[in-house]
């Protein structure tokens, strides 16, 4: 497909104000009440305008991280990096993008799951070492990073950031192999946990995924103006659509791909299977993280979410006047519930997408105000109705409680809350920001007690068996540690 030729003057408009979910929620004394997205990674090789292509791809995946953004480009001689805290449109301008020269690039949107709120913790991480220059972007969480880091510090290593990704730089730099590729292969065998990595050298790009394939990473191709083919990788395929790229396939679990050019400037792609794998991708990508227009783990996120809603309707046969979503992530599941049950679908809550970080004081009144600023009920839709409201998850329960009260204040006769996922009973250690187990309400209370806490007339969750049916009844092989507590690794605390 032909690459969209967007001039720099057509950068997406900067929002006047924008929802900004980060670990600053804790800094602002507002406890998180959602499983927070991880990060987005981008790799671009042999593309006409690698920096602009990366920019648009990161823009399409802004939902995966709003704390910081960065891009590194290579012109085969030098790597240039620009990164800063903030949204993609805040970090990059036309002037900055013009400084990022070259046909190869890596990019990153950050949501902090390890490390602190610091620009030093932004990615890409750039380093000069004995083989030259590299820039690395990473989505996931290295579960044995603390042990590796301490061992490196004991050997004299000095760390500049608080993020686990820097461990990879040190492991590569200290390795004694003469070439970068074997160094990377050894590092892949040494680190554990969830990782999608894209490493840019001055002339090559290396892409890899952990042995379980926990986080998504897809491969696409793009047609340059001279007819040559460039390659891109990204956390979600919605970014391919924006730049006019064609989805080829997912990067396999445990796979390493090397992109390089031969003497004729033709791009060569080499694939090496590092591990014999038993893939266990994260099922929560379907439930909440991914944009609904993305293909995730070779399935449509939108269709899977509708299936979740249909299965909810099979498991929870309720009498009601309308079914409505908590926007936006509950939308597809609510459609599925409505289609299966025959209960009319309505948009009873309207989301304001431009709520800024305005909450400083930790008072319950302000937490309730935060919900009202983000969600506004349509009273004529809700008044005197028995309302089924569908959300994707229930973590602490505080937001659900505020939503129930919001609907009662709008005149709902009954509020029946359904969650299109099983109860969240365990924190995630694979690149997702979740509260501790003691803060997860479903880990400490029965469903009936949670219902009493949120003051709903009914509370129902999707069963674990129902989740398997909705996602893939014939071949369910997903990590669901947040629902069953069964982790894939020993967790390094």
Is residue 434 within 8 A of residue 35, CB to CB? The reply is yes
Any idea what the Cα angle at residue 262 is, between residues 260 and 266, rounded to 5°? 85
Q: Kindly list the distances between the CA atom of residue 85 and the CA atoms of 100, 159, 206, in Å, as whole numbers in the listed order.
A: 18, 20, 26
Angle, helices 301-315 vs 464-472, to 10°: value is: 140
Is residue 81 within 8 A of residue 105, CB to CB? The reply is no
Known binding positions for Mg(2+): 329, 391-392
Any idea what the Cα angle at residue 247 is, between residues 201 and 482, rounded to 5°? 85
All residues at 6 or more sequence positions from 264 whose CB lies less than 8 Å from its CB, including other chains: none
All residues at 6 or more sequence positions from 319 whose CB lies less than 8 Å from its CB, including other chains: 386
Known binding positions: 282, 329, 391-392, 428, 479, 482
DSSP-derived pairing of the beta strands 40-45 and 104-110: antiparallel
Is residue 123 within 8 A of residue 137, CB to CB? The reply is yes
Is residue 40 within 8 A of residue 109, CB to CB? The reply is yes
Sheet of 267-273: strands edge to edge?
125-129, 132-142, 193-201, 205-209, 255-261, 267-273
Known binding positions for [4Fe-4S] cluster: 282, 428, 479, 482
Is residue 39 packed enough to be buried (19+ CB in 10 Å), middle (13-18) or exposed (0-12)? buried
The separation between CA 343 and the C-alpha centre of its own chain, rounded to angstroms, equals: 32
Residues forming the active site: 39
């Amino acid at each position: 497909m032909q690459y969209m030729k967007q001039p720099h003057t057509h950068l997406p408009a900067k929002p006047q104000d924008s929802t900004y979910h980060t670990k600053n929620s804790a800094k602002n004394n507002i406890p998180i009440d959602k499983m927070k997205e991880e990060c987005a990674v981008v790799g671009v090789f042999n593309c006409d305008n690698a920096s602009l292509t990366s920019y648009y791809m990161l823009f399409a995946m802004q939902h995966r991280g709003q704390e910081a953004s960065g891009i590194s480009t290579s012109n085969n001689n030098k790597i240039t990096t620009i990164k800063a805290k903030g949204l993609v449109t805040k970090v990059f301008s036309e002037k900055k993008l013009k400084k990022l020269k070259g046909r190869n690039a890596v990019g990153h949107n950050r949501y902090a799951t390890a490390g602190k709120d610091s620009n030093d913790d932004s990615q890409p991480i750039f380093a000069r070492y004995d083989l030259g220059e590299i820039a690395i972007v990473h989505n996931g969480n290295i579960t044995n990073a603390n042990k590796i880091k301490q061992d490196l510090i004991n050997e004299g290593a000095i760390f500049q950031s608080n993020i686990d990704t820097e461990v990879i730089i040190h492991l590569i730099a200290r390795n004694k192999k003469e070439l970068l590729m074997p160094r990377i292969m050894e590092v892949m065998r040494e680190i554990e946990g969830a990782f999608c990595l894209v490493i840019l050298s001055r002339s090559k790009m290396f892409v890899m995924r952990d042995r379980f394939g926990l986080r998504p990473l897809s491969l696409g191709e793009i047609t340059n103006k001279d007819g040559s083919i460039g390659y891109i990788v990204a956390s979600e395929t919605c970014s391919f659509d924006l730049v006019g790229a064609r989805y080829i396939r997912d990067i396999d679990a445990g796979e390493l791909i090397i992109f390089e050019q031969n003497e004729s400037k033709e791009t060569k792609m080499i694939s090496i299977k590092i591990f014999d794998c038993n893939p266990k991708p994260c099922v929560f990508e379907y439930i909440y993280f991914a944009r609904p227009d993305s293909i995730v783990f070779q399935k449509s996120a939108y269709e899977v979410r509708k299936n979740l809603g249909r299965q909810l309707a099979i498991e929870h046969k309720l009498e009601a006047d309308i079914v409505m979503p908590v926007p936006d992530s509950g939308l597809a599941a609510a459609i599925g519930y409505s289609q299966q049950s025959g209960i009319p679908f309505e948009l009873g809550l309207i989301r304001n997408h431009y709520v800024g970080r305005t909450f400083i004081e930790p008072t319950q009144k302000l937490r309730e105000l935060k919900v009202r600023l983000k969600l506004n009920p349509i009273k004529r839709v809700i008044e005197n109705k028995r309302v089924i409201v569908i959300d994707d998850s229930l973590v602490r329960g505080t937001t659900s409680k505020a939503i129930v009260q919001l609907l009662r204040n709008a005149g709902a006769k009954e509020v029946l809350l359904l969650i299109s996922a099983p109860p969240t009973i365990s924190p995630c250690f694979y690149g997702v920001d979740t509260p501790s187990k003691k803060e997860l309400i479903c880990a400490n209370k029965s469903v009936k007690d949670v219902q009493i806490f949120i003051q709903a007339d009914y509370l129902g969750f999707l069963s674990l068996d129902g989740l398997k049916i909705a996602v893939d009844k014939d071949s369910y092989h997903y990590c669901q540690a947040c629902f069953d507590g069964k982790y894939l690794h020993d967790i390094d605390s």
